[in-house]
């Protein structure tokens, strides 16, 4: 009953799977082909139209940075500092840890200046970011639907606050496959280990998509990929010899029982062997010239820092990895915000700048999207106290700031605006679903068409929502 | 590449061809014979029409409803969507064949379009009289007659008649029977999740008396490992874990529930009773401890204790999880679609969703409490512990009584002659009381406790939450079940007990079908209904609908007897077929939906590890079932990398001794950082109810088997084992190793390959004794003092290879 067009598209899909680093077994493959492909929409395996971008680097600021101290200055808040927030704004509104507390205005202690052709205000905390104002687009009108960390990260990554759905990287691995035979399509790098909000492996989980689409974490300590290293006392030559004998026996088995799954397994063992070289080679930045470390900062020499991960992100982008997910922890500043945010900005500011410049110099920025965002922002109301050296802020969903660069996003623009107190969006709102739709669009995917059938329903990254935000595009 | 690459391509192409011919996913090409509404027509309407012309009243366009007969046949203004017998007069056909973009259905902007073949089918069905049926899965199953087959001798039981009838229809014949060695390994893995020992294989081969197979199956079903194997499947469904799941993923103590599941399967508890205990064990009259423990099922869902979380939001979330889990586990339907709007494909309304919700939002819990034991909690002592606690309580009470008496002033009770107790004695007595109380309390603390269900004494009102938002309560609803699935039995109260009784009514359309389908899936890799979590209109039709119904009725009539059903399945000729494939069959039926061969698939995550431990004799088969979850080898700081800054749970404290080698069902299940080898072999993190796992094949899996400490140690200990068992005889050792790992001797080329590997490795490690020492240092298991390091290291490499054979991790 499948019309020839479906058949053709499935062949295309086969071609993608052949290229995929973490290919599917035949069983998984055939179940995808026969069962789980949505009936009415284009199967994945290639963009649906000419993409602007080929890969994404998502710099996730876990914990929720304060937009009011970084990107969205509100003189009125400073004027009203310590006074109650107007009821008209906050009555019956959701707050997190401020539940039942008196809500007071909280200004910022930081100075802002205008930068670049858009004249975007950037705080003194981010001098490097300010320098690249003409490379990035600042979105002041981000909105989310979840007010606590875990559901909000889940929402930002999957389009649903409930666990169980695939994250962006998994959707793109599924939708576009891999461009690199020796590395996974979706790689995760974590910094700020041991501080701030915890991370779940679900944040790079494939949900109901086959687990080949989950992110593979490249670690800074121990094995860069879990179990990639041979056991102590087993040299690469010994390993190769053992693998040869395994292949020999598996090949005989394949000849007898004819199960294509065995052929896949033989291939995957070869891929594993290649990755034993390609992963350490990727992680070894020692041969990068001194100029690179000048650009990213000397932190980049210390594995596990955000700067080191930004450098790795560039190396992964060079190798055409599809989705490069960074998490940097410890932005959850309920109290002692000035102290915390200063540290965080020092860790991320120069490295973020360096990454964008480095991509640009290498001609990679045109087809690489860089995203800088938390899971939500922070309240214009104070938490803990209103003193300018120790204040804090609660979680805020109704307006927060992200920046994007490259891959068909406008450069040097400012999108969206908030009210005088920075509470709500007043112009060009960009809810998370819109944001997802826009990113998929740049990757050549119509967001309503990238679907996967689970439990009898066709699911999308954008759920049943989302519009492409044209104002963000070149 | 070369030959196998080419073969793979051919096979894949075969898969694609098959996807064209197996149009309904059920394995039968369309025939000119009368069309069947549920098989041939409903899927077209469901995929293309129901979203706007289906159950969801708010989304319904033009007041037209095509998911019910009354709507599809209704005459409005002289027109009707379907005019039986006359496709040319049917509005439905006029619209789907229209070329005017304003008229054509589905509308172009929906992105949906009917194919000419689908339109042809609709026409044919209408012209044949448009016979309408309710959705198959919502009609109570009726036991069908066993079909007649030509090759009657092949069939061992009725399952085979259904399978063979279909094969004969497709002009296929079954494969030959698998050999005895394959069969015992298959049975052993399927029923107890462990490979047979060489002694068990020999015994089975030697048993020439009639009924040997039946005796083997009976032995396996009676094994205590049966329950451990079955629990693996059920714990995915029950979303069981040892941590809370959300936010900082605090540790919880739920393992007594895991043991309840194992023990229930071992005791062959009737599945209706198993259901009732898990849905409503706490509410049963004079509930036993075991029944209350069963009710922990619905305390397994993920919970949060994040600062700033709104308790009301989370309370609603947990109730939603309980509805969704109940729906997937027993009903095989996706009620969650109806949380925000009426279901788009199946006749479930939002009101009905919240009627189900009303059963589950009555728990007196603090939804965002952070502690090991979030109330309601019960103690779960063993009988011995209970007796000892009773004794300690009585001792303390008696001493207290004595003290009280001693403290009473003489003359306080006129009838009793009393003397004043000396102060020193009183002081001594006080000490004794304190010691007894401490002993009692200390002991009580060692008794495991478990979160269980309970209902508040006065039922809370339940509201329809508008668009699923807990802040928007709408109309009030009372507890109830989806009308299309049949009425609840009469009972004084509409509570969870009534719900459980309804689920287990013999005529319930779904519970038995869904359950036997999951058993089938466990054995064959794919269920008779592939979408084992979805039996609704958007799910797949069963490959063998009559067989599914036959099994469902048999299940109910057997008294919901799980072991009986499994015995039936594994005793069939269908099950006993060889799993060898040939290109023709693969091209026609790559997923073996027609069952023209035995199943062959990679073992699930836990079994991959258990198999290695068993092969190495690291796993103690005599150890009793149950106990706290354990923490086997895992790379050092993995938990710390993810943990909340000040979390108490961030250090992974590895277990010691025998606990390193417990069966995988006992491994600590931390949702945020799942045990790595399980995650890589497709185990779910169990945040939601999971009815089936994918089976992938990745390079990361190769790393686990090649390099994970667990598997490297297993290779060394396996080497030690065969060297000890066949000293000085390398070929004998190799024979033994194959018998242990694969239940068969090596072939000559395999023998050769392993001999060569061993010889080269021996030379290598003789040259590099330091390397040998390092390799042998992996894992805590002791090494014989007399071991020759180079020899053992070389053998470890051979065992490492054997543990990586495709066959070793595959059920054949």
DSSP for B414-438, please give it. Answer: TTS---PPPHHHHHHHHHHHHHHHH
pLDDT at position A5 over 80: no
Separation in Å, CA of B30 to nearest CA in chain A = 9
Residues in chain A closer than 8 A to B602 (CB atoms): 25, 261
How confident is the model at residue B590, as a pLDDT? 86
A242 and A149 Cβ atoms separated by less than 8 Å: no
Nearest chain A residue (CA) to B674: A201
A36 and A456 Cβ atoms separated by less than 8 Å: no
Separation in Å, CA of A126 to nearest CA in chain B = 25
Read off the pLDDT of residues A187-212 as tens digits, 9 standing for 90 and up: 999 998 777 788 888 899 998 888 78
A57 and A368 Cβ atoms separated by less than 8 Å: yes
Residues in chain B closer than 8 A to A30 (CB atoms): 15, 18-19, 590-591
Read off the pLDDT of residues A133-173 as tens digits, 9 standing for 90 and up: 999 999 999 999 999 998 999 999 999 988 889 999 999 99
Contact call for B304 and A150, based on CB within 8 A: yes
Collect all residues with Cβ–Cβ distance below 8 Å to B193 and sequence separation of at least 6: B225, B228, B229, B232, B606, B607, B610, B663
pLDDT at position A20 over 80: no
Residues in chain A closer than 8 A to B537 (CB atoms): 456
Contact call for B696 and A212, based on CB within 8 A: yes
How confident is the model at residue B165, as a pLDDT? 97
How confident is the model at residue A468, as a pLDDT? 96
Contact call for A198 and B591, based on CB within 8 A: no
Instruction: Specify burial of residue A389 (Cβ count, 10 A radius: 0-12, 13-18, 19+).
Output: exposed
Contact call for A262 and B306, based on CB within 8 A: no
Rounded CA-CA distance B783/B143 in Å is 59
How confident is the model at residue B342, as a pLDDT? 84
Collect all residues with Cβ–Cβ distance below 8 Å to B516 and sequence separation of at least 6: B548, B551, B552, B555, B565
pTM for this entry: 0.86
Peptide bond into B376 cis (omega under 30): yes
Q: Measured between CB atoms, does B754 come within 8 Å of chain A?
A: yes
Residues shown for chain A: 474
Q: Measured between CB atoms, does A33 come within 8 Å of chain B?
A: yes
Read off the pLDDT of residues A413-462 as tens digits, 9 standing for 90 and up: 999 999 999 999 999 999 999 999 999 999 999 999 899 887 777 899 99
Residues in chain A closer than 8 A to B335 (CB atoms): none
ipTM associated with this complex: 0.88
Q: Measured between CB atoms, does B290 come within 8 Å of chain A?
A: no
Question: Which domains does chain A possess?
Answer: 4-229+282-472 (3.40.720)
Chains A, B: CB pairs < 8 Å: 338
Contact call for B672 and A24, based on CB within 8 A: no
Probe site for chain A from B305, B329, B696 (most A CB atoms < 10 A): B696
Cα angle: B583, vertex A16, A31; to 5 degrees: 50
Which residues, given as ranges, of chain B have pLDDT below 50?
1-31
Residue A401 — very low, low, confident or very high, per pLDDT cuts 50/70/90?
Answer: very high
Probe site for chain A from B67, B699, B710, B717 (most A CB atoms < 10 A): B699
Of A224, A27, A14, A19, which Cα lies nearest the Cα of B806?
A: A27
Probe site for chain A from B706, B716, B749 (most A CB atoms < 10 A): B706
Cα dihedral B375/B381/B385/B388 (nearest 10)? 50
Q: Is B476 helix (H, G, I), strand (E, B) or coil?
A: strand
Separation in Å, CA of A336 to nearest CA in chain B = 16
Read off the pLDDT of residues A288-335 as tens digits, 9 standing for 90 and up: 999 999 999 999 999 999 999 999 999 999 999 999 999 999 999 999
Residue ranges of B 257-286 with Cβ closer than 8 A to chain A: none
Cα dihedral A20/A26/A31/A36 (nearest 10)? 10
Token readout for B204 is: 């089975």
Q: Measured between CB atoms, does A196 come within 8 Å of chain B?
A: yes
Q: Where are the domains of chain B?
A: 37-132, 296-376+449-505, 381-447, 707-811
SS (H, E, C) chain A: CCCHHHHHHHHHHHHHHHHCCCCCCHHHHHHHHHHHCCCCCCCCCCCCCCCCCCEEEEEEECCCCCHHHHCCCCHHHHHCCCCECCHHHHCCCCCCCCCCCCCEECCCCCCEEEECCCCEEEECCCHHHHHCCCCEEEEEEEECCCCCHHHHHHHHHHCCCCCCCCCHHHHHHHHHCCCCCCCCCEEEEEECCCCCCCCCHHHHCCCCCCHHHCCEECCCCCCCCCCCCCCCCCCHHHHHHHHHHHHHHHHHHHHHHCCHHHHHHHHHHHHHHHHHHHHHHHHCCCCCCHHHHHHHCHHHHCCCCHHHHHHHHHHHHHCCCCEEEEEECCCCCCCCHHHHHHHHHHHHHHHHHHHHHHHHHCCCHHHEEEEEEECCEEEEEEECCCCCCCCEEEEECCCEEEEEECCCECCCEEECEECCCCCCEEECCEEHHHHHHHHHHHCCCCCCCCEEEECCEEEECCCCCCCCCHHHEC
How confident is the model at residue B411, as a pLDDT? 59
Rounded CA-CA distance B766/B775 in Å is 13
Residues in chain B closer than 8 A to A23 (CB atoms): 697-698
Cα angle: B448, vertex B450, B452; to 5 degrees: 160
Residues in chain B closer than 8 A to A251 (CB atoms): 4
Residue ranges of A 84-123 with Cβ closer than 8 A to chain B: 94-99
**Torsions phi, psi for B773 (to 5 deg):** -60, -40
Separation in Å, CA of B687 to nearest CA in chain A = 7
Residues in chain B closer than 8 A to A16 (CB atoms): none
How confident is the model at residue A21, as a pLDDT? 37
Rounded CA-CA distance A45/A58 in Å is 22
Q: Is B449 helix (H, G, I), strand (E, B) or coil?
A: strand
Of A36, A2, A13, A12, which Cα lies nearest the Cα of A457?
A: A36
How confident is the model at residue B56, as a pLDDT? 85
Contact call for B806 and A253, based on CB within 8 A: yes
Residues in chain B closer than 8 A to A275 (CB atoms): 699
Residue A77 — very low, low, confident or very high, per pLDDT cuts 50/70/90?
Answer: very high
Q: How far is CA B105 from the centre of its chain?
A: 41
Residues in chain A closer than 8 A to B246 (CB atoms): 150-151, 163
Probe site for chain B from A30, A45, A152, A186 (most B CB atoms < 10 A): A30
B501 and B521 Cβ atoms separated by less than 8 Å: no
Contact call for A235 and B525, based on CB within 8 A: no
Residue ranges of B 396-455 with Cβ closer than 8 A to chain A: none
Token readout for B118 is: 């689908």
How confident is the model at residue A178, as a pLDDT? 86
């Amino acid at each position: 009953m499948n019309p020839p067009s479906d058949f053709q598209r499935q062949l295309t899909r086969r071609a993608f799977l052949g290229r995929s680093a973490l290919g599917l077994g035949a069983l998984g493959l055939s179940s995808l082909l026969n069962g789980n492909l949505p009936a009415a929409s284009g199967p994945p395996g290639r963009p649906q139209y000419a993409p602007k971008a080929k890969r994404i680097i998502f710099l996730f600021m876990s914990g929720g940075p304060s937009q009011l101290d970084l990107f969205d200055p509100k003189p009125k808040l400073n004027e009203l500092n310590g006074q109650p927030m107007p009821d008209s704004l906050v009555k019956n509104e959701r707050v997190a840890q401020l539940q039942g507390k008196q809500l007071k205005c909280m200004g910022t202690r930081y100075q802002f200046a205008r930068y670049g052709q858009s004249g975007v205000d950037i705080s003194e905390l981010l001098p490097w970011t300010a320098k690249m104002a003409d490379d990035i687009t600042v979105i002041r009108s981000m909105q989310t639907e979840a007010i606590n960390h875990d559901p909000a990260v889940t929402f930002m990554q999957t389009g649903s606050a409930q666990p169980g759905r695939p994250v962006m990287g998994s959707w793109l691995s599924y939708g576009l496959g891999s461009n690199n035979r020796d590395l996974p399509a979706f790689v995760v790098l974590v910094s700020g280990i041991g501080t701030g909000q915890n991370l779940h492996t679900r944040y790079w989980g494939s949900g109901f998509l086959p687990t080949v689409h989950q992110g593979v974490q490249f670690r800074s300590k121990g094995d860069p990929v879990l179990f990639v290293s041979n056991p102590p006392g087993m040299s690469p030559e010994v390993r190769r010899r053992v693998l040869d004998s395994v292949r020999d026996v598996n090949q005989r088995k394949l000849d007898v029982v004819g199960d294509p799954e065995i052929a896949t397994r033989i291939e995957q063992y070869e891929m594993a062997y290649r990755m034993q070289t390609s992963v350490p080679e990727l992680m070894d930045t020692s041969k990068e010239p001194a100029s690179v470390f000048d650009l990213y900062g000397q932190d980049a020499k210390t594995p596990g820092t955000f700067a080191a991960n930004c450098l790795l992100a560039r190396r992964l982008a060079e190798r055409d990895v599809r989705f490069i997910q960074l998490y940097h922890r410890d932005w959850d500043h309920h109290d002692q915000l000035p102290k915390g945010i200063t540290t965080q900005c020092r860790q991320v500011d120069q490295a973020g700048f360096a990454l964008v410049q480095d991509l640009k110099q290498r001609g990679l920025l045109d087809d690489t999207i860089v995203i800088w965002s938390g899971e939500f922002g922070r309240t214009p109301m104070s938490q803990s106290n209103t003193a300018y050296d120790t204040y804090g802020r609660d979680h805020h969903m109704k307006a927060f700031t992200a920046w994007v660069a490259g891959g068909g996003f406008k450069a040097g623009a400012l999108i969206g605006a908030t009210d005088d107190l920075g509470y709500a969006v007043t112009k060009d709102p960009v809810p998370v679903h819109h944001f997802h739709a826009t990113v998929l669009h740049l990757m050549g995917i119509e967001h309503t068409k990238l679907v996967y059938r689970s439990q009898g329903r066709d699911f999308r990254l954008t759920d049943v929502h989302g519009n492409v935000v044209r104002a963000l595009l070149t | 590449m070369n030959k196998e690459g080419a073969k793979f391509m051919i096979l894949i192409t075969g898969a694609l061809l098959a996807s064209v011919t197996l149009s309904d996913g059920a394995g039968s090409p369309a025939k000119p014979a009368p069309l069947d509404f549920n098989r041939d027509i409903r899927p077209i309407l469901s995929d293309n029409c129901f979203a706007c012309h289906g159950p969801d009243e708010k989304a319904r366009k033009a007041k037209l409803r095509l998911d019910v007969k009354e709507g599809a046949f209704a005459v409005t203004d002289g027109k009707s969507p379907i005019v039986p017998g006359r496709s040319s007069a049917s509005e439905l056909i006029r619209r789907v064949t229209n070329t005017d973009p304003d008229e054509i259905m589905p509308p172009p902007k929906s992105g949906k379009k009917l194919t000419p073949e689908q339109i042809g089918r609709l026409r044919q069905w209408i012209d044949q009289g448009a016979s309408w049926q309710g959705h198959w899965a919502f009609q109570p199953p009726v036991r069908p007659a066993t079909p007649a087959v030509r090759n009657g001798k092949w069939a061992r039981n009725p399952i085979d008649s259904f399978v063979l009838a279909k094969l004969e229809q497709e002009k296929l014949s079954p494969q030959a029977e698998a050999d005895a060695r394959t069969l015992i390994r298959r049975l052993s893995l399927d029923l107890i999740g462990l490979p047979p020992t060489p002694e068990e294989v020999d015994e089975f081969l030697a048993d020439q008396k009639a009924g040997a197979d039946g005796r083997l199956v009976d032995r396996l079903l009676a094994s205590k490992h049966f329950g451990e194997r079955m629990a693996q499947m059920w714990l995915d469904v029950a979303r069981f874990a040892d941590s809370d799941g959300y936010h900082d993923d605090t540790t919880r103590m739920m393992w007594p529930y895991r043991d309840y599941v194992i023990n229930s399967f071992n005791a062959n508890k009737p599945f209706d009773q198993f259901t009732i205990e898990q849905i409503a064990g706490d509410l049963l009259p004079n509930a036993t401890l075991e029944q209350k423990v069963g009710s922990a099922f619905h305390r397994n869902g993920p919970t949060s204790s994040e600062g700033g979380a709104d308790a009301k939001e989370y309370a609603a979330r947990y109730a939603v999880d309980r509805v969704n889990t109940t729906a997937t586990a027993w009903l095989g339907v996706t009620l969650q679609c109806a949380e925000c709007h009426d279901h788009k494909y199946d006749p479930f309304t939002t009101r009905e969703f919240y009627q189900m919700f009303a059963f589950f939002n009555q728990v007196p819990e603090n939804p965002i409490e952070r502690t090991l034991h979030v109330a309601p909690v019960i103690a779960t002592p063993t009988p011995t512990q209970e007796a000892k606690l009773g004794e300690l309580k009585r001792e303390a009470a008696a001493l207290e009584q004595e003290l009280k008496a001693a403290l009473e002033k003489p003359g306080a009770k006129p009838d009793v002659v009393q003397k004043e107790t000396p102060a020193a004695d009183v002081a001594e007595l006080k000490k004794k009381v304190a010691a007894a109380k401490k002993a009692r309390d200390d002991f009580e603390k060692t008794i495991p406790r478990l979160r269980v269900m309970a209902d508040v004494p006065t039922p809370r009102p339940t509201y329809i939450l508008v668009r699923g938002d807990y802040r928007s309560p709408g109309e009030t609803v009372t507890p109830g079940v989806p009308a299309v699935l049949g009425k609840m039995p009469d009972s004084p109260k509409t509570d969870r007990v009534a719900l459980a009784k309804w689920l287990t009514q013999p005529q319930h359309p779904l519970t038995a079908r869904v359950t036997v389908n999951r058993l089938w899936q466990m054995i064959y890799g794919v269920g008779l209904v592939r979408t084992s979590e979805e039996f609704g209109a958007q799910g797949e039709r069963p490959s063998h609908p009559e067989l599914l119904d036959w099994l469902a009725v048999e299940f109910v009539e057997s008294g919901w007897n799980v072991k009986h059903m499994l015995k039936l399945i594994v005793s069939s000729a269908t099950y006993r077929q060889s799993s060898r494939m040939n290109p023709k069959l693969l091209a026609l039926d790559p997923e073996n939906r027609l069952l023209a061969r035995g199943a062959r698939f990679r073992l699930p995550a836990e079994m991959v590890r258990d198999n290695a431990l068993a092969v190495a004799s690291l796993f103690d088969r005599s150890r009793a079932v149950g106990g706290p979850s354990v923490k086997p080898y895992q790379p050092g700081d993995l938990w710390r990398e993810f943990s909340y800054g000040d979390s108490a749970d961030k250090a992974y404290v590895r277990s010691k001794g025998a606990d390193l080698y417990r069966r995988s069902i006992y491994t600590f299940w931390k949702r945020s950082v799942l045990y790595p080898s399980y995650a890589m072999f497709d185990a779910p993190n169990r945040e939601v109810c999971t009815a089936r796992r994918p089976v992938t094949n990745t390079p990361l899996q190769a790393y686990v088997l090649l390099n994970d400490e667990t598997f490297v140690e297993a290779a060394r200990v396996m080497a030690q084992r065969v060297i000890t068992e066949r000293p000085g005889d390398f070929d004998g050792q190799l024979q033994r190793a194959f018998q242990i790992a694969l239940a068969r001797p090596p072939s000559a080329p395999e023998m050769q390959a392993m001999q060569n590997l061993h010889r080269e490795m021996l030379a290598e490690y003789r040259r590099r004794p330091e390397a040998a020492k390092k390799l042998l240092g992996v894992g805590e298991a002791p090494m014989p003092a007399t071991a020759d390091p180079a020899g053992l290291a070389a053998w470890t490499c051979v065992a490492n290879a054997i543990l990586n054979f495709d066959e070793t991790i595959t059920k054949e």
